[in-house]
Amino acid sequence: MVLANFEKVTQFIGKMVMEEHVPGVVIGVTTAEKTLYKQAFGYAHYTEKIKMADETIFDLASLTKVIAVLPSILQLLDEGELELDDPIAYYLPQFKKNHQDITLKHLLTHSSGFQPEIKFYLNNISDHDTIDTIAQIQEKKRPGEEVIYSDLNFILLGKIIEKIVGMSLAAYTKKFIFDPLGMKNTYFNPPSNQKHRTAATELIESLNDYRWGEVHDENTLHFGGVSGHAGLFSTLEDLAIFSRMILNGGVMNQKRIISPQSIALSTNTYTKQLNLNRGLGWELYDSPSFSGQFLQDGFGHTGFTGTSIWFSKKNNFSTILLTNRVHFGRERNISRMRRIIHNLVAIEMSDAY
């Protein structure tokens, strides 16, 4: 479906694919009521010449943080199972000795002070031992002192969710988020029979093949495909459903998933004094990475594989941009492409709606 008023968006993405900035793109623009524009370009697997489609399944990478972990935390907040100012040591006693001042809010806003990552897979540290390993490291900064984007924060949040609910993150999100929303193609560890619907990611030299149908992130792969920081797969249509739930204040198909209070809370600015606007999980407002010049009124997130979602608060719509940019190598930067696409969407939405 291509509406005339999105012609500039279509032309620009077509040009980016033709010039091989990315092998393929699936884009959608949705309001609280419906998807206004969706289009697929290029290839889900370039060498196999498998074309992108509306139904292509993408490795969301770090979008896992805001599509799986954040809504789980907000649901548990709504149920009175947690409080954002709780110290994480309340749930994970291993942190009482060295990290007693770190709270759930610090993890959610990436202001815990933890380093960006630990390569658990290189050191053969099992998923079971991640909590003890993180508890033993020294913070780079004091909690609340600086924003350091860190996968460790959301690995820990995933573990805390599992401890509270008594089931895996994959099982909880399926039962309480994805199934109620009707997100039928959103899951960790895609079924093997869906491989050819999945956008292939990076060429792995040791395999002499592309990572295809399994998670790209090395730590998550080492953990068995499920983690709080990466591992979720989804499609444009499922993310449009999720977006409409957010835009409707936590309701979709007359089902309350998250309270409107928690939706609003997640997009408040908690780190403005640190000169970087972050909400709970979300990047906010003047995000230099991908909001563009005309959509600096909202919130969103990116994924390393080439995925992103951005919400405009002012105009109440979201732009879902899914690519497999690492298929051409992880050095391929698409930040400029994202910003231009968001600018064109903003202009065309203002003209038409």
Q: At 288, is the pLDDT very low, low, confident or very high (cuts 50, 70, 90)? A: low
| pLDDT above 80 (res 238) | yes
Tokens of residue 7, six digits: 């012609």
Q: How far apart are CA 229 and CA 219, in angstroms?
A: 9
Q: How far apart are CA 290 and CA 338, in angstroms?
A: 6
pLDDT for the residue numbered 273: 67
Average pLDDT, the chain: 93
Strand-pairing partners, residue 310, are 300, 319
CA-wise closest residue to 306 among 192, 233, 201, 182:
201
Strand-pairing partners, residue 234, are 58
Q: At 219, is the pLDDT very low, low, confident or very high (cuts 50, 70, 90)? A: very high
pLDDT for the residue numbered 63: 98
3-class DSSP string for 222-271:
HCCCCCCCCCEEECHHHHHHHHHHHHCCCEECCEECCCHHHHHHHCCCCC
pLDDT for the residue numbered 348: 87
CB 30 within 8 A of CB 316: no
pLDDT for the residue numbered 353: 54
CB 227 within 8 A of CB 189: no
pLDDT for the residue numbered 131: 96
What is the SS3 assignment for 140?
coil
Q: At 1, is the pLDDT very low, low, confident or very high (cuts 50, 70, 90)? A: very low
How long a stretch of residues is the chain? 353
Q: Each residue of 170-218: pLDDT tens digit? A: 999 999 999 999 999 999 999 999 999 999 999 998 888 999 999 999 9
Q: At 352, is the pLDDT very low, low, confident or very high (cuts 50, 70, 90)? A: low
Q: At 314, is the pLDDT very low, low, confident or very high (cuts 50, 70, 90)? A: confident
- 321-348: average pLDDT: 93
- Give the distance from CA 189 to its chain's centroid: 16
pLDDT for the residue numbered 5: 77
CB 271 within 8 A of CB 299: no
What's phi and psi for 318, nearest 5 deg?
-130, 150
CA-wise closest residue to 133 among 120, 122, 116:
120
- 91-112: average pLDDT: 95
Tell me the DSSP string of 298-348. EEEEEETTTEEEEEETTTTEEEEEEE-GGGG-TT---HHHHHHHHHHHHHH
Q: For the ranges 224-228, 232-236, 287-291, which has the lowest average pLDDT?
A: 287-291
Q: How far apart are CA 237 and CA 40, in angstroms?
A: 12
Q: At 149, is the pLDDT very low, low, confident or very high (cuts 50, 70, 90)? A: very high
Which conformational region is residue 348 in: left (phi greater than 0), alpha (psi within -120 to 50 degrees), or beta?
Answer: alpha
Question: Model-level pTM?
Answer: 0.95
